Amino acid sequence: CFLSLQKREISNFDYLMYLNTLAGRSYNDYMQYPVFPWVLADYHSETLNLTDPHTFRDLSKPMGAQTVERKHKFIQRFNEVEKNLSAQCHYCTHYSSAIIVASYLVRMEPFTQTFCSLQGGSFDVADRMFHSVKSTWESASRDNMSDVRELTPEFFYLPEFLTNANHFELGCMQDGTVLGDVQLPPWADGDPHKFIFLHRQALESDYVSAHLHRWIDLIFGHKQHGSAAVEAVNTYHPYFYGDKMDLNNIKDPLIKGTILGFISNFGQIPKQV
């Protein structure tokens, strides 16, 4: 399959879906939903230049290391945890979980009901809802130390999830903005179909094709855990590595239940492929 990718016989999208399937990810499981990368870093320009390397996210680094300052903060956390706690990691939150998936797709059923169920029966505070592609990128790549989320496949083929066609009352932000359709980058001209078209072009671009293997190493490959992950600033809470933990040897039902609940709520590292 990798040779087919190199020869451009299959698309980057199809190859990522193939890897997700091999790693046990499925549309049928919100806790192990297919994970796709942020591929762009430009959500402010009037036009999208797919020939400029600066347009793209650094695919060799996880979301927690997209800026030098943020990377150093997570390395500092890793070193401090080593001294003070047993759970040594860079990130205590995950890049894909049931709540992340449901928050992205909240404007469509059945994700609306799933999101509300995970939130205790109602929508979240409006300012925390997914409302802007640009602000979500800034949060996940730069501003929020609790946010390292990646994307779902729908960002590359389904414009409907970006519109509030069901007219859900999603609330009002502190600045007075009433939540409705997702705010798109200027280069999308307010058109969800154009956003999806250009975003898919970005995924299939020469730049992403040349660098996508670096992101795959982080999520599905040898930089997923161990010393390579530490060097890549790519380690997560031990509970996220569900297939690396022998739950059968944990006799305390409270501890076992806590681990299973943690995995269910906060995400799970894909199986290494």
CA distance 160 to 192: 7
Domains of the chain (ranges, CATH numbers): 1-264 (1.10.1540.10)
Contact call for residues 98 and 139 (beta carbons, < 8 A): no
In the DSSP assignment, the letter for residue 209 is: H
Scored b (16 or more CB within 10 A) or e, 58-79 reads bbebbbbbbeeebbeebeebbe
Q: Tens-of-pLDDT digits for all 273 residues of the chain? A: 555 555 667 999 999 999 999 999 999 999 899 999 999 999 999 999 999 999 999 999 999 999 999 999 999 999 886 555 557 899 988 999 999 999 999 999 999 999 999 888 888 888 899 999 999 999 999 999 999 999 999 999 999 999 999 999 999 999 988 999 999 999 999 999 999 999 999 999 999 999 999 999 999 999 999 999 999 999 998 888 866 666 667 777 777 677 666 666 677 899 888
Per the omega criterion (within 30 degrees of 0), is the bond before 37 cis?
A: no
Torsion of CA 7, 218, 151, 118, to 10 degrees: 140
Q: CA nearest 60: which of 37, 80, 31?
A: 37
CA distance 98 to 133: 19
Phi/psi for 155 (5° steps) reads -65, -10
Strand partners, 172: 178
Contact call for residues 127 and 175 (beta carbons, < 8 A): no
